[in-house]
A and B are shown apart, each in its own frame.
Chain A
Amino acid sequence: MSIKLTVNGDTRELDIDADMPLLWAIRDHLQLTGTKFGCGMALCGACTVHIDGQATRSCVTPVTAAQGKQITTIEGLSTAAGRAVQAAWIGLDVPQCGYCQSGQVMSAAALLAANPKPSDADIDAAMAGNICRCATYVRIRGAIHQAAETLATGAPAAP
C-alpha cells in the first residue's frame, strides 16, 4: 500500500506493506543505511530514530504508525544536542566497531534534549536499551557528560 513518510524533512511516498517496520522502509526503501538492524525486537537500540523528537526503536514501529510524523535518522540529526553528542563522540573516540553507535548517538541526543544535565544514573537509565557489544559504555558516559557541558556553554558546531 502507499505510505507517506517524512524523514529528515523530506516527504516520500512508498509502495510498501503496511506492517513493514519503519526500520526496513528507511534502510531498504529510502537507502538511509545509518540506522542499523541489531535484533528486530526492541532489545538492542541499534535502530533508534527520533519520531517527533522521541527516541524510538524503528524495528518494532510499523510504518503506518510513523505516517504524518517527523522522523529523524542519524543522517538528519542536526539539533544542538545531536551536534554536541557527535562532537563529543568523535573527541573521545567512543566508537569501536561502530555498528551500535548510530543508535547510541540518537538515544544520547534525545536524552540531552530532555535532560540537559544528566547524572550517571540518568545516563544508565536512558541508555540501557542500547547494547554495545564492544562495551564502549565508559566512553559513552564520558561523552554524554562532555556534550552536556558543551551545550551548557554555547552552541556546538556541526561535527
Chain B
Amino acid sequence: MYFRHIEDAAALAVGRSPAELSRRQFLKLTTLAGSGLTLGMVLPGCGTGPGGAAAGPLVMPFVRIAPDNTVTVISKHLEAGQGVWTGLPAIVAEELDASWDQMRVESAPAQVPMYGNLAMGGKIQLTGGSTAVANSWQQLRQAGATARAMLVAAAAKAWAVPASEIKVSQGVVSHTGAGRKATFGELAGSAAKEPVPTQVSLKDPAAFSIVGNEKLPRLDARAKSTGKQQFAIDVMLPGMMTAVVMRPPRFGGKVSSFDATKARAVAGVIDVVQIPRGVAVIGKDMWSAKKGREALSVTWDESGAEKRGTTQLMKEYHALSRSKEAVTVTQRGDVEAALAHAVKRVEGEFEFPYLAHAPMEPLTAVCQLSADKCEIWAGCQFQTVDQANAAAAVGLKPEQVSINTLAAGGTFGRRANPESDYISEVASIAKATGGKYPVRLIWTREDDITGGRYRPLNYHRVTAAIGKDGKVAYRQRVVGQSIVAGTPFASMMIKNGVDPTAVGGSAPEQYDLADAHVSWSPPTVGVPVLWWRSVENTHMAFSKEVMIDELAHAARQDPVAFRLALLGEHPRHVGALKLAAEKAGWDSPFSKEKGRGRGVAVHESFGSVVAQVAEVTVSGDKITVDRVVCAVDCGIAVTPDVVKAQMQSGIGYGLSAALYGKITLTDGHVDQTNFHQYQVLRINDMPRAIEVYIVPSTNPPSGVGEPGTPPIAPAVANAVRAATGIRLHTLPFDLAAARRARA
C-alpha cells in the first residue's frame, strides 16, 4: 500500500524544476564539456523559431533565459535560510536590467572549478564562512552584464540599429527611434547565437535599483509560506524506502556485533544492514524503520570510545590553561611587562559548553544507486566534498555521483562537515542494500542532538589591564579542540600550529593594543566538533567584549567611549559602534529602575563589523532582553531586508546559546536528547524590539549570515552586569549560580 500512493505526478517530479528538460540538457552539456567551461561560454540553443527569429533559451553557466521570459540564476550556493536564493539573483538581475518578477533560481550541480567558492580558491564548491554573496559578487555581475550584452547584440542585429542606442529596462529591450521592443524571452534564442563578449562594462553602483533595494521580496517566501518548498525530507521516489541508523552510544565506539531478529520481525521493516558508522534499519516508511531500530540489539566495541564527561574535561582544560603546552596565536609588544606595571587589572575565566546546531530539518538525504551512477538529494553545503565522500562510500568515481542540492531546513554549519557524515551514511546504506531501492535516511531529533559535531567546549583565561599611560594590555589563553585537525582541511588551514577556526578574532586583532599575547592549547578529545554559526567568534567575541567592558568599568569610563578610544585603527568598528550607540540613544539617560541594564558589544567577523546594544530587565534570576539595536557594516548591502533578517536571526541564534544552549556528557554519554533538554530560544524569549541599521558603504559585500551572532551574548552579559553588578562568564547564563559564586 505504500507504493500505491506514489501516483502523484508532482511527487514523482520531486527534485525536478519546471525547467527540468533544459536543465538536464544543461547538466549533460556541462559535464561533457568538463572543467574547460568558462564564464561566458554559451551552450547550444534549440534551432530557429517562426519568422526566422531563433527560438530557444540562452544558457550560460550562471544564467538561463528561457523563451517563456523567465531568467533563472544557477546558484552554486546552498539556500539554508540565509537568503542567497534572493541575493544571488539580485546581483544578476541588476546587471541584466531584468524585472524582479521574471527572476527564478535553481541549484547548480556539484562541479569545480565552475561552481567553486572563489573565497576558498575555487577548488571546492561549498557554502560557508558567510562568503556566498561576497565571492559571487563580481562573478555574477559579470554574468548578468554578459547576458545583457548578448541580448542587446541580438536586438541590434534584428532591428539593424547600433547596439549603443538600445535600452534595457525592467526586462524589456527597446530602441526608441526604430520603435521596436522585445522581451528577454523573445531575444534569448538569437542572443544564444551571438559571440560571447570578452569584455563587458559593469554598472556604476550609483545606478543600482535592485541591489540595495529595501523592498525586494525574497524569491522563496511564497513557497515557504504555503508548505510547497521542497526539502530533502520531502523527496519521494518510486519504491523509496526509509532508513534510520543506530549509532554508537559513545563517540568513537564501533559495532562489535548485532542481532536483527527482533528488528526484522517488526512489520514494515525491509532490511537491516551494517554500515561503517553503525547499523541501518530500513523500513517501508519512517514509522516502521524507527520501530525496527527500537527492537534492534547491537553490541558495541567501546575500546576506542571517549568516556570522559564534560565536568572532567573542563577540569582538564583548567589545568591545561596553566600549563606551558600552547601555541602563540597573536603577539604584540611585551605583555608581561605591561601587566606588571598596570594600575588596574581585571582577571576573567570563561567557560563555554558544547553546542549542537539543531537545524529545524533534521539531517536527511536520499540516495539512488545503480551499477555506474549514484544520485544524491540533500541540503548539501559542501557539494564537491559530499560528492567525493559519497563516491568513496559506494565505490564510484566522483563524476559518477550527481548531487541535487535542495533547500536546507537550516544548517548553521552542521551540514558542512569534512566527512559528509549523513551523506556518507545514506550512500553506504544504498551500497549495502545493493541499490535495490532508492533510500531516504532520516536522522531523528535525538540522533541530531546526540550526534556530535558540536561547537567545541572552550575555556578561556584572560588577564587584562590598564597602564599609567591608559594603554591596555591583554593576555589570553584559549583551551578548546581544533575543528580541522585530522580532516583534509588541516593542511590548508592550520598555519604555524594554529587552527583559525578554533581561535581568532581576539582583542589584539580588533583593538589597538600595544601589548598583548594570545595562546591556544588544543586538547585531544574524542567528541567530534564543527563550525557553529560564526565559528571561533562565538566564544572569542564573548571573552573579548566582556573583558573590555570590565576594563571600562574598572577605569570608570563609558563603555562606548572606552572602546572608541581603542579603535583608532579600526574605522569600520567605529562606524558601526557609533551608529548603534546613536540609534540606541546611548548618550541619553537610561533608567536603571526595576532591574534594567544596558550593554554594548562590537565585533568583526567574516569581513563585516556588527555592533549591538542590548537592553535587559533582570527580575530575580530571570534575564529578559527587551530591546536590541544592531548596526552592521557589511559593505554594499545587496539585499538590505535579507541583511536585516540575518541580523535578527543571528541575534536570536546567539541569544539561544546565551540563555539555554548546553550539551553535556556524563561518562562519554550525551545527556540531552531532544528540545526538552537541549532548550532553544522560543518566541516568548525573543526581544520585542530588534532594530537593525546598515552602515552605508561602497565596499564590496562581505559576510551577513554569521556576523550577527557574536556580539549578542556579550552585549547581554554587559547589560546584566550594568543592572546587577554580577559578572556572567559561564555560558549559558545562570544568574543564580553566578550570585552564589560571588557570595
Other-chain contact of A133, B6, B79, B230, B359 (Cβ < 8 Å) = B359
Q: How far is the CB of B353 from chain A (nearest CB, A)?
A: 18
Does any Cβ of A come within 8 Å of B227's Cβ?
A: yes
Q: Which residue of chain A has its CB nearest to the CB of B234?
A: A33
Does any Cβ of B come within 8 Å of A114's Cβ?
A: no
Residues of B within 8 A of A29 (CB): 1-2, 5, 285
Residues of A within 8 A of B342 (CB): none
- The answer to whether B286 touches A39, judged by C-beta atoms less than 8 angstroms apart, is no
Q: How far is the CB of A36 from chain B (nearest CB, A)?
A: 7
Residues of B within 8 A of A33 (CB): 227, 230, 233-234, 236
- The answer to whether B653 touches A124, judged by C-beta atoms less than 8 angstroms apart, is no
Other-chain contact of B221, A94, A99, A120, A128 (Cβ < 8 Å) = A94
Q: How far is the CB of B619 from chain A (nearest CB, A)?
A: 16
Other-chain contact of A134, B1, B81, B242 (Cβ < 8 Å) = B81
- The answer to whether B683 touches A128, judged by C-beta atoms less than 8 angstroms apart, is yes
Contact segment of A50-58, A85-93, A149-157 = A85-93
- The answer to whether A138 touches B81, judged by C-beta atoms less than 8 angstroms apart, is no
Docked Cα-Cα span, A131 to B678, in Å, equals 12
Q: Which residue of chain A has its CB nearest to the CB of B229?
A: A98
Q: Which of B81, B231, B361, B683 has the most CB of A within 10 A?
A: B683
Docked Cα-Cα span, A97 to B445, in Å, equals 17
Residues of A within 8 A of B230 (CB): 33
- Digit string of A89-120 for contact with B (CB within 8 Å is 1, else 0)? 11001111111111001000000000000001
Docked Cα-Cα span, A123 to B2, in Å, equals 39
Other-chain contact of A24, B220, B285, B649 (Cβ < 8 Å) = B285
- The answer to whether B686 touches A31, judged by C-beta atoms less than 8 angstroms apart, is no
Docked Cα-Cα span, A34 to B242, in Å, equals 18
- The answer to whether A24 touches B226, judged by C-beta atoms less than 8 angstroms apart, is no
Residues of A within 8 A of B223 (CB): 98
Q: How far is the CB of B154 from chain A (nearest CB, A)?
A: 35
Q: How far is the CB of B28 from chain A (nearest CB, A)?
A: 28
- The answer to whether A36 touches B233, judged by C-beta atoms less than 8 angstroms apart, is yes
Docked Cα-Cα span, A135 to B1, in Å, equals 39
Residues of A within 8 A of B442 (CB): 37
Other-chain contact of B684, A15, A102, A125 (Cβ < 8 Å) = A125
- The answer to whether B236 touches A96, judged by C-beta atoms less than 8 angstroms apart, is no
Q: Answer whether A95 and B221 are a contact pair too, CB < 8 Å, given A41-B445, A134-B360, A136-B649.
A: yes
Docked Cα-Cα span, A134 to B683, in Å, equals 11
Residues of A within 8 A of B686 (CB): 135, 137-138, 141
Please report the total number of A residues contacting B with Cβ < 8 Å. Answer: 61
Docked Cα-Cα span, A15 to B224, in Å, equals 31
- The answer to whether A133 touches B675, judged by C-beta atoms less than 8 angstroms apart, is no
Residues of A within 8 A of B8 (CB): 31
Residues of A within 8 A of B581 (CB): none
Q: Contact size class for B?
A: 35 or more
Does any Cβ of A come within 8 Å of B228's Cβ?
A: yes
Contact segment of B65-73, B256-264, B404-412, B483-491 = B404-412
**Interface residues in A1-54 (C-beta closer than 8 Å to B):** 14-17, 20-21, 24, 27-31, 33-41, 43-44, 46
Does any Cβ of B come within 8 Å of A148's Cβ?
A: no
Q: How far is the CB of B155 from chain A (nearest CB, A)?
A: 34
Q: How far is the CB of B93 from chain A (nearest CB, A)?
A: 17
Does any Cβ of B come within 8 Å of A68's Cβ?
A: no
Does any Cβ of B come within 8 Å of A81's Cβ?
A: no
Other-chain contact of A38, B11, B79, B362, B653 (Cβ < 8 Å) = B362
How many cross-chain pairs have Cβ atoms below 8 Å apart between A and B?
197
Q: How far is the CB of B4 from chain A (nearest CB, A)?
A: 9
Q: Which residue of chain B has its CB nearest to the CB of A14?
A: B1
Q: Answer whether A131 and B649 are a contact pair too, CB < 8 Å, given A39-B445, A138-B686.
A: no
Does any Cβ of B come within 8 Å of A71's Cβ?
A: no
Q: Answer whether A35 and B286 are a contact pair too, CB < 8 Å, given A95-B221, A134-B360, A137-B683.
A: no
Q: Which residue of chain A has its CB nearest to the CB of B80?
A: A97
- The answer to whether A130 touches B361, judged by C-beta atoms less than 8 angstroms apart, is no
Q: Which of A75, A95, A135 has the most CB of B within 10 A?
A: A135
Does any Cβ of A come within 8 Å of B594's Cβ?
A: no
Residues of B within 8 A of A34 (CB): 226-228
Docked Cα-Cα span, A63 to B681, in Å, equals 30
Q: Answer whether A135 and B287 are a contact pair too, CB < 8 Å, given A93-B641, A93-B645, A96-B81.
A: no
Other-chain contact of A44, B80, B221, B649, B675 (Cβ < 8 Å) = B675
Other-chain contact of B410, A14, A97, A102 (Cβ < 8 Å) = A97
Does any Cβ of B come within 8 Å of A66's Cβ?
A: no
- The answer to whether B681 touches A135, judged by C-beta atoms less than 8 angstroms apart, is yes
Residues of B within 8 A of A105 (CB): 225, 227
Residues of B within 8 A of A131 (CB): 360, 675, 680, 682
- The answer to whether B645 touches A43, judged by C-beta atoms less than 8 angstroms apart, is no
Q: How far is the CB of A84 from chain B (nearest CB, A)?
A: 12
- The answer to whether A73 touches B641, judged by C-beta atoms less than 8 angstroms apart, is no
Docked Cα-Cα span, A21 to B290, in Å, equals 12
Residues of B within 8 A of A124 (CB): 683-684
Docked Cα-Cα span, A68 to B6, in Å, equals 24
- The answer to whether B409 touches A36, judged by C-beta atoms less than 8 angstroms apart, is yes
Docked Cα-Cα span, A101 to B229, in Å, equals 10
Q: Answer whether A17 and B267 are a contact pair too, CB < 8 Å, given A31-B5, A135-B656.
A: yes
- The answer to whether B361 touches A101, judged by C-beta atoms less than 8 angstroms apart, is no
- The answer to whether B412 touches A133, judged by C-beta atoms less than 8 angstroms apart, is yes
- The answer to whether A28 touches B683, judged by C-beta atoms less than 8 angstroms apart, is no
Does any Cβ of A come within 8 Å of B669's Cβ?
A: no
Q: How far is the CB of A7 from chain B (nearest CB, A)?
A: 12
**Interface residues in B667-696 (C-beta closer than 8 Å to A):** 674-676, 680-684, 686-688, 690
**Interface residues in B400-447 (C-beta closer than 8 Å to A):** 407-410, 412, 442, 444-445
Can you list 10 residue pairs at the A/B interface with Cβ under 8 Å? A17-B288, A20-B287, A28-B285, A39-B675, A90-B217, A93-B641, A95-B81, A97-B224, A133-B410, A135-B656
Contacts A41-B445, A135-B681, A137-B686 supplied; 15 other A-B pairs, CB < 8 Å: A31-B5, A41-B676, A43-B445, A46-B360, A89-B225, A90-B225, A97-B360, A97-B361, A98-B225, A99-B231, A133-B656, A134-B410, A136-B645, A136-B648, A141-B686
